[in-house]
Amino acid sequence: MGFAKFLGIGSSTPEKVLSNVDLEKIIDTSDEWITTRTGIKERRIAEPEVATSDLAYEASIKALEDAAVDVSEIDGIVLGTITPDHIFPSSACMLQSRLGAKQAFAFDLLAGCSGFLYALHAAKGMIEGGDSKKLLVVGAETLSKIMNYEDRSTCILFGDGAGAAVLSTSDTPGILSSCLGANGDDWDLLYMPAGGSRMPTSEETIKNRGHFLRMEGKEVFKEAVKAIQASSLQAIEKADLTPDQIDLFIPHQANYRILEAVRKRIGLPEEKVFSNLDKYGNTSSASVPIALDEAVKSGRLKKGDIALFSAFGAGFTWGAAVVRW
Ligand code: COA
């Protein structure tokens, strides 16, 4: 059995910035409240004509360049998202077409904000099992399209963006461990009520704003801290390492208070946590790969370093992975 490793990483975020001060003009909130409760200062918003696969395409082109891999070498595309261009077909198929990755299979994977960790786990398995040699793993979202900008408890948190990675077979271990988990009992604490088969689109669902994200923030917060801590420690142990051997922790960028609580519980110093939450807010499936790209490009994560990724999201779902970069 071979191993799976990262060959390249790329990301893309829309140019348009929505700052806390901008939000003060449309809802009853303040820069001070958002900053102290979440750590977010601004988020990026896609133009009306831009869909998730457009951001995924830009991030994928950068990842392929970074990996020095031609698109003809890609065996498959796994795309984590909760905001696909359409309910079907998958955004991964649109990405496959735009990239011209004719030989690649393509599918979307829906695992809330853990989408990239789930996609990474699936891709690792396909590579280590010998079925695939090179895969494109993407997390991409246009959450602004499902945001209720009249609900101050959610619209302040989320933003748009995409991150993509090229994975390949390797003689030496690159992804040292990966762990996933889920608890479907709490699905209705973070969800979009309408537009699926349970509640198809109707005049009523539109009137009731059923096509926007809904969340019980306090409950999600508590569960996120517990699950990110437990899965991170599980992934570290599975990699036969201890927390002090982690060079950089790249968590899902949801809320700095969640990151701080987890960091303290795992016992990592502040300088070992990467955060770009202030610039992008929570970009769901895209948050870990965007942060990873910025960590690598800024020199915070260097060749040979050990990184810990973790995420938590709707479902509930969670995942963590330990990687030698
Ligand atoms: N601006 C100003 N006040 C706001 C506000 C906003 N944007 N949003 C909520 N409030 C108010 C509430 O109405 C409430 O007022 P009240 O006490 O008069 O009722 C007060 O602030 C406290 O609200 P609460 O929901 O208890 O705040 P909180 O400290 O739990 O912070 C979140 C709210 C959403 C920031 C926080 O719960 C959170 O980050 N949860 C996790 C969300 C998350 O990360 N989800 C994705 C996981 S993948």
Mean pLDDT of 48-72: 98
Q: What is the pTM of this model?
A: 0.96
Distance 207 CA to ligand 1 centre (A): 25
How does pLDDT run across 105-160, given as a tens digit for each residue?
Answer: 999 999 999 999 999 999 999 999 999 999 999 999 999 999 999 999 999 999 99
Looking at the chain, which residues constitute the CATH 3.40.47.10 domain(s)?
Answer: 3-172, 177-324
Candidates 3.40.47.10, 3.40.50.720, 2.160.20.70, 2.60.40.420; correct CATH number of 3-172?
3.40.47.10
| pLDDT of 78 | 98
pLDDT of 42 over the 70 cut: yes
177-324 CATH, one of 3.90.580.10, 3.40.190.10, 1.10.3720.10, 3.40.47.10: 3.40.47.10
63: CA distance to ligand 1 center in Å?
Answer: 35
Q: Please work out whether the CB of residue 53 comes within 6 Å of at least one atom of ligand 1.
A: no
Name the residue of 255, 282, 284, 317 whose CB sits within 8 Å of the most ligand 1 atoms, as the mutation to test its pocket. 255
Find the 111 Cα to ligand 1 centroid distance in Å. 23
Element containing residue 153 per DSSP (H, E)? none
H-type helices in the chain, by residue range? 20-24, 31-38, 52-67, 91-99, 115-128, 203-207, 217-238, 256-266, 277-280, 287-297
- Give the residue-averaged pLDDT of 284-292: 98
**Residue 302 CB neighbour total at 10 angstroms:** 11
